[in-house]
Structure 1
Amino acid sequence: MSGDDTPQRVDKGKQRAILPEVDERAPLLGGPSSRRIDGEHDDNAHRSRRTIWSTLCAVFSVSFLLCVLIFLALVAWSYRARAQNLTPEDVIHRGLRVQGPDRVDVLNITAGEGIWVRVDGRVGLDAGALVDAQADEERDGFYDYVRKGVGRWGIRRLRKVTVDSMTAEMTTQLGHRDPVVLATMTIAPVEVPLTVSPPTRDLSWLTNVSIPILIQPTSNGSALLDFARHSWREGFVNVRAAVNRVQVHGGGLDDNSWRSRFRMDRPNVRVDVRKRIPELPGLPPPGRHLPALEELVTLKTFGVSSGKESLLLNAVATAVNPVPSNVHFASPPELPFTISLVSTEHNRSTSVPVAFVHTEPFTLTHPNITLAVSGSVLRLPSSVSPLLSAFLSRYLSGERNPIQLSTPLFPGLDVDTFFPAPHPRPQILRDVTIRDMKIKPSGPGGNQISASGTVFARAVLPRGIDVRLEVNRVWPDVLVYDGEVPDVDYGDAPPVPLPEGAFAHIKPEDWLVSESVEEEPGNEGSVVAVTAQIEDVPLEVLPGREKEFSHFVSKVIWGPGGALAGVQGVAAVGVRVHGLPFSNGTGQDKEMELTDLPFRGTVRIGKKGL
């Protein structure tokens, strides 16, 4: 091979390697390969810096987020702790706002269960004040600003809470006596809206609510009346509400979201309530004595009529209505009551049921309520006759009678009051006279005087009492006057001092058998004409009035028409009332004795009367 094609042998000996000559035009940093390597180093460094920066940002973000979450958890825990430590007094006095009631409707009254009412009002809960979440720009620092902001956000998210159904026992303590239970109230579940920083100048932030409540009053009627009188005299109502358990959960009644997990449970809650009594229409201002029940009721009409097997009763009364106009009540078709007469014997008071009545439907009108009542007398044992007789005697004498009212709707709840007296006092015995009266000496030696004749009177019952009567016996107690009877009262014995003109006293030793005939009634009640014979009844000349008696006898003898004598006194009558349902007994056992019936009249005695 020749020329340039001849391969050159490479000597692999120890000869030094010959470096290529350096070209001055060669690049200082090398060629393309060198630049590529340097670029890769630069990219790796940039990526490394970006990775470190991203890692740092992620770590910082996660750390910050964790700090925020921990802070929020601590804030939430602090609010939870505040909420858990709230007492009922805190809620009532610092957060709860109640306005009303704006309306109260009595829904139903049932025997053994109680009174269902619906109370409409306005309610709100200032949750911000309770958990210290209200903003205070002058005092709040950064931490408080954030903490309270979180609290307000949480309250707005929660929106409302629900108080589950609960039963409260209302008690009071009067003086040094033991606490007395007034009523038990069962309240349906209530949704209470939550508010943060409500306006202080108005109550526009409150929410309308309508709450059903079951009220079961105590069976101790005297305790209720004592509480009412004491509270009115003090001007305040002081009660303690005792609840076995109060349970509250977040959200509404049927809320099943996360809000319902917020729960609070308080056992054995006791809350003292003191409220000023407002002025009520028809009653004296609080701080004075409360009028008795009978002072607030006026009996307009009262009627009794004879039925086939009973006495039928009806009455119309008006009662002062102290209930505010926002309380609405429409009575059921009938409100039943039992009327009992009160007997006091051996220093012990007992009651005997005598009548069952019911009210006609009524509403709460102002200023007075009109009550129409009807019913009948119960079937009575004959042993009740003396008690019923005493009641009627006092009534006809213009006196009030103690009675007791009860209702099967509230067993054991008895109210003591008085049946009002009639005004004016009725005059039952009228036109009293002694016909064919004769006076003659009697007794041993003729040193006594006796009287004979026919006692006549008309028994006129008060308006509305239209019963059939039989007056079977009478027992008169009579003062005899020379001339007309003066205007004086007479009891069951000659009064002291003796009234002017009175000279004799006539009182039989026992009842006189009588006969009666019904007459047509006029503008009043039943009318019965009564006659009874007196024969040789002692006529007692009053002490110191012998001269007046002699003067009267002289007028009888020498007067052209005899002499006019006035008679005045009281009488008892034995009456049988048709329809009065006595279940046993015979004869006088089924009669009623009406006593202390006053009368006055005149009798003319001629010469034939001596």
Structure 2
Amino acid sequence: MSTDSVDIERRIDKGKARARSPEPTEDTPLLGSASGSYTSRVEPETTPRRLYSKLVSVFLISLSSCVVLLLLVVLIVFSYRSRAVSASPDEILQHAVVLRGPDGVDVLNTTGDGGVWLLVRGRVGVDAGEVAGVKEVAGDNILQDAWKSIGRWGIRRLDRVTVNLSSIEISPESDPSNPLTTLHFPPMELPLTANPPPDNSWLTPVAIRVLIRPTKDIQTLKRFVRDSWKRGQIRVQAVVDHAIVQGGGLDDGGWRQLITVAHSNIHTKIHITIPRLPGLPPAGRDEPLPDVNQLLTLQSFRVTSEHDTLALTANATVINPLSLDLDFTSPVLPFTVSLPPVNASTDYLSVPIANVTTQSFTLTHPNISLSINGTVLPFPRDAFSALSAFLSNYVSAIDSDIILSTPFFPGLSLPAKFPAPHPKPTILRDVTIHDMKIKPVGSGMAASGTVLARVVLPHGIEVGVDVVRVFPDVIVYDGPVPDPADGQPQTASSSCVLNYPVDDHDNVPPAPPLPDPLPERAFAHIRPDAWLASVSEPVESGDGEGSAVSVSANIVDVPLEVLPGREREFSNFVSKVIFGTQGAIAGVQGVAAVAVHVHGLPFENGRDGEMELTGLPFQGSVRIGKRTLLGHFTG
């Protein structure tokens, strides 16, 4: 076959079969050229090897970079964590934790065993940059600034931590063995700040529940308060068994919870200077802490008879020593009012006389207003001496000691004063003897007539009363009673005796001694041998008065004793009556006792009792006519 025919054959063969290599000829070279078909078969095997080599190189470089970065992050985290772990609790409290407030306090409830749950609102922040040492500082170089920037970024990513504390025991720094109170906190979240500004704008408002259990050793508590006030500084020691700080909030999970710092057996000392408190003397000047009666002022009170008991209502003010504006609303606070024993050497227990509650109140300046109500407790027999002394002081314008206690703080009792009315109240008023008659009886003289008077209780005591018995002790004058300003002897102080319902009323009040020297123009003394039955009915009382009743009692042939050495004065008086056209004025002065049924006065046996008011001073006058005296003398 010729060469031309071969070429034609090549051009004609265009089928779908794979092209075959031409048969070698005598002109075919022994070694193929670089552009021949042999070279094209080797090229697909070389390209994957090069790609694989590149991928391996990239992977190794990336892995190395990740390892280096991971090591760098671990180094940074370890460095910052080691700083946080090595920081002492004192350092954290002094330089990292910032508290402001409290801005509000709510009393949630009590535990019944002396504990009180409070909800305290305030502002808090944790300067984590201070603890980790990543705060911006003037003079840092580029490397230090970059290093700290990473730490601040990590703090912002962490955002907050959860703090779990065991109970916190607070005790005096000088006597750690006697704790003052124990605080219990549930787990709480604290926000973190990497680089806070100098003001307080970065603090976060929080509301934290806290359970406070004050000590029941009241003497230790009183001694601490007294010493702190004298020193002008509160010095306490706080002890925490363990504290665990975990990254993230209470409900967070993930990587944040892996960051944990724990401390145990934490002891820290806290010193707080007592600031100037409005209404109180400055602390730290060896001046004693003011008593409760110097802080509490009873503005008004009212006692009424209601439902077989005595109801109490009162208004009082108490000095608010807190200068800051604190949003505080108190719950209803129960108190028991007790009287101290009359004889401290023989009587050891105080006598509860009333249960009262203060209504919810808020803090106002400069004083806090209190609205109080309650009831009088039933009186046991052994309470009468203390109650009689209290009532005697009251009607004699003498302030009485009382004791305040509350179930919120068992064992804590606060001495206070119950103010008496000033000036001294006049209970027995408008005393006169109507239709008085004087006649000789045997070797002596006797007087008859009707004693009329008004019994007016002090302001605020608006109870229902019945005066059932009276006992007058009278000195009779020729003419009006001398003015006390003239230096005449004064009558004895008033007193009260509370009788138990089963007591015998035959005993009369003890006779007071006659004035020494005898007043001018006094000539006779009238004193019955027994109580006089009386009748009373309510009358309208005036402004500034309590309940009032009119009283009348008949005296029949009561001995009239001429005073020693005053026979001439008696004779002169009789002469005025006999020879005067309108008789003569006789002044009467003395002390009286009245027995009063008080409606609702409670007793343990449930029966009505009497209250005897003794030593009630009175004075008045009576006109004695000729017929009254002459008929009896001549008949």
Fold conserved between structures, TM > 0.5? yes
- AA aligned to 2:186 is A
Written as runs of structure 1 = structure 2, the 5 A alignment for 1:83-482 is 83-108=84-109, 111-112=112-113, 114-138=115-139, 148-164=148-164, 166-172=166-172, 181-200=179-198, 202-219=199-216, 227-228=224-225, 230-287=227-284, 289-323=288-322, 326-332=325-331, 334-347=332-345, 348-434=347-433, 436=436, 438=438, 452-453=447-448, 455-476=451-472
Summarize deviations over 1:520-541 as a string: whole Å, max 9, x none: 1322323241536482265654
3-state SS in 2 of match to 1:82: helix
- Which residue does 2:570 correspond to in 1? 553
- 1:239-275 deviations in Å (ceiling 9; x for gaps): 3333333222111121212221222333333333222
Paired position in structure 1 for 2:509: none
Q: Give the conservation status (yes or no) of the 8 Å contact 1:306–1:312.
A: yes
CA–CA separation in structure 1 for the residues paired with 2:149 and 2:59: 27
Higher mean Cα deviation, 60-69 or 122-131? 60-69
Matched-pair contact (CA < 8 Å) for 1:158–1:250: yes
User: Could you tell me the percent identity over the aligned residues?
Assistant: 42
More displaced, 390-399 or 476-485? Answer: 476-485
- In structure 2, do the counterparts of structure 1 residues 496 and 432 end up closer, same or farther at CA, with 3 Å as the change threshold? closer
Partner of 1:7: none
Could you tell me how far apart the structure 1 residues matched to 2:595 and 2:245 are? 70
User: Residue in 1 aligned with 2:604?
Assistant: 583
Question: d(CA) in 1 for partners of 2:413 and 2:70?
Answer: 64
Distance change (3 Å), C-alpha of 1:112 and 1:61: same
**Does the 8 A contact of 1:504 with 1:539 survive in 2?**
yes
- AA paired with 1:577? V
Tell me if structure 1 keeps the 8 A contact 2:161–2:247: yes
Show the counterpart of 2:39: none
Displacement of 1:460 in angstroms is 0.8
Q: 1:130: how far off?
A: 2.4
- More moved, 313-322 vs 478-487: 478-487
Taking a change above 3 Å as real, the CA distance of residues 599 and 251 of structure 1, as seen in their structure-2 partners, is same
CA distance in 2, matches of 1:425, 1:374: 26
Q: Does the alignment pair 1:520 with 2:539?
A: yes
* Conserved 8 A contact 2:587-2:622: yes
- Superposed CA offset, 1:522-577 (max 9, x none): 22323241536482265654xxxx4xx35532430333366545444444433332
Say whether 1:535 aligns with 2:579.
no
Please tell me the residue identity of whatever aligns with 1:466. Answer: E
* Deviation, structure 1 residue 125: 1.6
- Taking a change above 3 Å as real, the CA distance of residues 223 and 552 of structure 1, as seen in their structure-2 partners, is farther
Against the structure 1 CA distance between its residues 155 and 308, is the aligned structure 2 distance closer, same or farther, given a 3 Å change threshold? closer
State the Cα distance separating 1:103 from its structure 2 match.
3.0
Q: What is the DSSP-based 3-state SS (H/G/I as helix, E as strand, rest coil) of the residue aligned with 2:397?
A: coil
- Return the alpha-carbon distance in structure 1 between the equivalents of residues 407 and 569 of structure 2: 64
Q: Report the Cα distance in structure 2 between the residues aligned to 1:86 and 1:510, rounded to whole angstroms.
A: 89
Conservation of the 8 A alpha-carbon contact between 1:569 and 1:599: yes
Deviation at 1:417, TM superposition (A): 1.9
Between stretches 564-573 and 417-426, larger displacement belongs to 564-573
Normalised to the residue count of structure 1, the TM-score between the two structures is: 0.75
Q: 2:612 aligns with which of 564, 574, 593?
A: 593
Moved more, 176-185 or 150-159: 176-185
Query: 2:167 & 2:524 partners in 1: Cα distance?
Result: 70
What amino acid is aligned across from residue 187 of structure 2 in structure 1? P
**Larger CA deviation: 357-366 vs 384-393:** 357-366
Residue-by-residue CA offset, 1:571-609 (whole Å, 9 max, x unaligned): 44333323212233989xx32233443333335567739
**Counterparts in 2 of 1:360 and 1:92: CA distance versus 1, 3 Å:** closer
Rounded to whole Å, the distance in 2 between the matches of 1:100 and 1:70 is: 43
What is the SS of the residue equivalent to 2:349?
strand
Distance 1:234 1:573, change over 3 A: farther
| Long gaps (5+) in structure 1 | 1-31, 34-46
| Letter of the 2:191 counterpart | P
Cα RMSD after superposing both structures: 4.5
1:272-318 deviations in Å (ceiling 9; x for gaps) = 32223344454445456543323333333322223342222222333
- Shift of the 567–84 alpha-carbon distance from structure 1 to 2, 3 Å rule, reads farther
> Structure 2: which 5+ residue stretches go unaligned?
1-32, 35-48, 494-511
Shift of 1:90: 1.0
Aligned residue pairs total: 551
Instruction: Give the direction of change, closer, same or farther, for the CA distance of 1:290–1:499 in structure 2 (3 Å limit).
Output: farther
Letter paired with 1:124: G
C-alpha contact 1:555 1:563 (8 A) present in aligned 2: no
Note the alpha carbon deviations across 1:409-437, whole angstroms, 9 max, x for none. Answer: 54444333222222333210112345537
Residues in 2 aligned to 1:172 and 1:226: alpha-carbon distance in whole angstroms:
10
Taking structure 1 as reference, are residues 341 and 137 closer, same or farther at Cα in structure 2, changes over 3 Å only?
closer
Moved more, 524-533 or 476-485: 476-485
The equivalent residue for 1:490 is 491
Q: Distance in 2 between the 1:601 and 1:177 partners?
A: 66
Query: Residues 586 and 361 of structure 1: is their aligned pair in 2 closer, same or farther, counting only changes over 3 Å?
Result: closer
Distance 2:268 2:618 in 1: 63
* TM-score in terms of structure 2 length: 0.72
| Paired letter, 2:600 | G
Question: CA, structure 1 residues 439+328, in 2 after alignment: closer, same or farther (shift >3 Å)?
Answer: farther
Going from structure 1 to structure 2, the CA distance change for 1:316 and 1:221 (only over 3 Å counts) comes to farther
- For the Cα contact (< 8 Å) 2:338–2:353, is it kept in 1? yes
**What's 1:14 paired with?**
none
Whether the 8 Å contact between 1:465 and 1:526 is mirrored in structure 2 is no
Match of 1:5 in 2: none
Q: In structure 1, give the amino acid aligned to 2:463.
A: V
The DSSP-based 3-state class of the residue aligned with 1:164 is: strand
Find the aligned partners of 2:220 and 2:535 in 1 and give their Cα distance: 49
Per the TM alignment, residue 147 of structure 1 is displaced from its structure 2 partner at its CA by 5.5
* Alpha-carbon separation, structure 1, partners of 2:262 and 2:113: 31
Tell me the distance in 2 between the aligned counterparts of 1:439 and 1:602: 19
Are the aligned partners of 1:301 and 1:464 in contact in 2 as well (CA < 8 Å)? Answer: yes
Q: 1:25 maps to what in 2?
A: none
More divergent stretch after superposition (497-506 vs 164-173)? 497-506
Structure 1 residues 374 and 194, CA, compared in 2 at 3 Å: closer, same or farther?
closer
**C-alpha displacement of 1:466:** 2.7
Cα contact 2:361–2:370 (8 A) shared by 1: yes
